[in-house]
Amino acid sequence: MLPLLLGRPKLDVQIVAPGSPIVTGTALMEVNGRFQLVSQLAIRRLVPKAVKAGEALNTQAGGDSPLWVDCSGATASTVVWFDDRPLATSFGSPSASSALVPKELIRAPGVHLITLKDASSRLSSERSNFVIEN
């Protein structure tokens, strides 16, 4: 049984400033005058998780390389970010998205952070490492 507050079920809510991302968990959003919970946005794995510097995999038009993201909670407004740069993203389903990584981003060795960010819900996933090897 839920505790009652002024005759209504008690609901614990985290208040965030407008425009602030919600990093993990769920969000309570108003849609058409009704509130609904939006599921957590998470990266389960990246394919590939690593590439060799300067070597494109499955090169697309323009020389960009696809990055597949096995995820949860993605929507049509979810974008894959490479460090602080949004990538051209294709929504497949709530559990799969892909993005094109420009060839200039994989020229030098290093570790980069991949994040999912959803413009509609303002949810962000935890970061996942993408490695560019020598």
Residue 110 has pLDDT above 60, yes or no: yes
Across the chain, what does the average pLDDT equal? 82
The pair of structure tokens assigned to 116 is: 């999912």
The pair of structure tokens assigned to 27 is: 């969000």
- The confidence score (pLDDT) of residue 101 equals 95
pLDDT one-digit tens code per residue, 11-49:
455 555 565 555 445 566 665 677 666 668 999 999 999
Q: What is the mean pLDDT of residues 70-90?
A: 96
Q: Say if CB 75 and CB 97 are below 8 A apart.
A: no
Higher pLDDT, 56 or 115: 115
DSSP state of 123: B
Residue 9 has pLDDT above 80, yes or no: no
DSSP state of 58: S
Q: Say if CB 120 and CB 77 are below 8 A apart.
A: yes
DSSP state of 96: E
Q: Phi-psi category of 7—alpha, beta or left, where left has phi over 0 and alpha has psi -120 to 50?
A: left
Domains of the chain: 11-133 (2.60.40.10)
Q: Please, which residues have CB within 8 angstroms of residue 32's CB and are 6 or more apart in sequence?
A: none
- The confidence score (pLDDT) of residue 18 equals 62
- What is the model's pTM? 0.73
* Cα angle 93, 37, 87; round to 5: 40
